[in-house]
Amino acid sequence: MKHELCKYSELESFDAYLASLSSPIDSFLEEHILESQFYRIVVEGREIGFFATHHGSLLTQFHLVAGESRYGQEVLADILGQNQLRMAFVPTCDEFFLSHALDKYVNLKKQALFFIDSKQPIKLKGNSLKAAYRPAEQSDVSTIQAISGNFVDDLVRRVSRHEIHVGHLNGEIIAIGLIIKSQLWANQASIGMFTHEAYRRQGIGAQTVLYLKHVCHNCDMRPLAGCRYNNTKSQMTLQAAGMVTMTRLLRFTF
């Protein structure tokens, strides 16, 4: 068995892996996957699967084709041993990876929640403030930074790519929204929001999520979202806007 460095786009089995997931993943995990080094698993000249590592220490992918999955425990043990990997990010929507990580783990941490749109009609409380929304402009950059700190990475580029939106009330920016298109799935995008500290607990966060969902639907994109597992406030805001959590991201230590 050999491990050959490659690009994910060169893998014969990558599309089958994507199709095997029971629900989508958000941009946080997707970015870790895209930043990873991929390795083709080869036996007698045949690709039987692949794995990927992030910064040489975090396993982000492990997949075998259906006909070879019976060797999963043996292959994973070999991967962990040869590469001295001690941690893995595993979404619960990846049954194959999850099952094999459970065979080997020493410790498990619940890292994040992933959300999809319930597509149910949502009516916000009548006493909520009513913000207006628009795509962000370069002239908004300094205000966005002042309000949200480092919430948005590479802000100037994201504004130029129309990934940032702002909510305003009486001429003041009070909310920031993100829409990041998936690079792995067509017609999917991760959404995120930040509310000015002075306007929290007044329904602005849920309004922002509803606006971002509306933009996605108008562009024929499926909105996804994620938050840290212990971020109860973000979870409640997403749920108030009709997002439901189907998937967890787990951090395994081996």
d(CA 161, CA 73): 43
Q: pLDDT tens track of the chain, all 254 residues?
A: 999 999 999 999 999 999 999 999 999 999 999 999 999 999 999 999 999 999 999 999 999 999 899 999 999 999 999 998 999 999 999 999 999 999 999 999 999 999 999 999 998 876 678 999 999 999 999 999 999 999 999 999 999 999 999 999 999 999 999 999 999 998 999 999 999 999 999 999 999 999 999 999 999 999 999 999 999 999 999 999 999 999 999 999 99
- Statement: 2-104 belongs to CATH 3.40.190.10: no
For the domain made up of 115-249, the CATH class stated in words is alpha beta
Reduced 3-state DSSP string for 45-81? CEEEEEEEEECCCEEEEEEECHHHHHHHHHHHHHHHH
Domains 2-104 and 115-249 share a fold: yes
pTM confidence score: 0.92
What does the domain layout of the chain look like in residue ranges?
2-104, 115-249
Phi then psi dihedrals of residue 49, to 5 deg = 160, -160
The torsion angles phi and psi of 84, rounded to 5 degrees, stand at 50, 45
